[in-house]
Amino acid sequence: MKKVFLAGASGVIGIRVAKMLVELGYEVYGTTRSQSKAQMLEQIGIKPVVLDVFDTQKLKEEMKKASCEILMHQLTDLPDGLDYAGKMDEVLARNARIRTEGTRNLIEAAKQSGVKTIIAQSLGFIYEPGDMPYTEQSQLLNFNDTTYGETSRAVASLEEQVLGSGMCAIVLRNGLIYGEGTGFDIPFKGYASVHVDAAAKAVVLALQCKQNEIFNIVDTDNITSNDKAKTILGWDENFRI
């Protein structure tokens, strides 16, 4: 039985990934910052790990104790009830910190505990405007962009850290998430989007990848190409749990 350390197991994608992994026979250690969510994880067969990714000492201890071969990075920091009103600048800053400092902490702990594979969530909707459809080789948004420059810089940091970790590294660039539990029922008009169930399925499919890769995980449209994920991973945007 292979073991997975799933950072962000109680999130909207993480919880779906956790359930699929359990069904496939994996032993899953799932992190959450909430004791109440830890009980929920335990009920579905996850070994809960209550910690904050910025508590480096505890993170190292727990990851070493779990002794997993696989790390899945699904951490985000979103407002309760997905209420973004008047909070967008704060939300972007908190998530940028997770992608930079949080990723660094995870990788350091993973190296010390013998992790061999890392699969990390990134973003597939902050490409620099230009020729479409955007591919995995397209340039990320200018870091000086007034709205999403900090986010783009943080995404670049996450991806550089993951791909340079020395582990087998897979980066999944998700479109804007919609579907049950996300607060949004339909795709975002004019933006790369993806159903939350399909995004979760991509994480599980990425387990078959044995070399460093980046994949756009997005619905089919004329904005961003998902050809690579479909061809290499056999991913299907229409997957629903």
Looking up tokens 């309760």 gives 80
pLDDT higher than 80, residue 33:
yes
Residue 85, judged by CB atoms within 10 A of its CB (0-12, 13-18, 19+), counts as exposed
Q: What is the mean pLDDT of residues 152-181?
A: 97
The whole-number pLDDT of residue 54 equals: 98
Indicate if the pLDDT at residue 81 is higher than 90. no
pLDDT digits (tens, 9 = 90+) for 191-234: 999 999 999 999 999 999 999 999 999 999 999 999 999 999 99
5: pLDDT strictly greater than 60? yes
Residue 88: what pLDDT?
Answer: 78
pLDDT higher than threshold 70 for residue 34: yes
Residue 166 · residue 111 · CB < 8 Å: yes
Gap between the Cα atoms of 72 and 64, Å rounded? 15
Mean pLDDT on 15-21: 98
Confidence of residue 171 (pLDDT cuts 50, 70, 90): very high
Considering the domain delimited by 3-233, tell me its CATH architecture.
3-Layer(aba) Sandwich (3.40)
Q: Which of 48, 64, 106, 98 is nearest to 78 (CA)?
A: 98
Residues 85-133: pLDDT tens digits?
Answer: 667 788 899 999 999 999 999 999 999 999 999 999 999 999 999 999 9
Mean pLDDT of all residues belonging to the chain: 95
Which residue carries 């069904």 as its tokens?
23
| CB distance 32 to 38 below 8 Å | yes
Question: Angle at the Cα of 57 (from 114 to 170), degrees rounded to 5?
Answer: 40
Mean pLDDT of 75-88: 69
The rounded percent of the chain whose pLDDT value lies above 90 is 93
pLDDT value for 80: 54
pLDDT of residue 162: 98
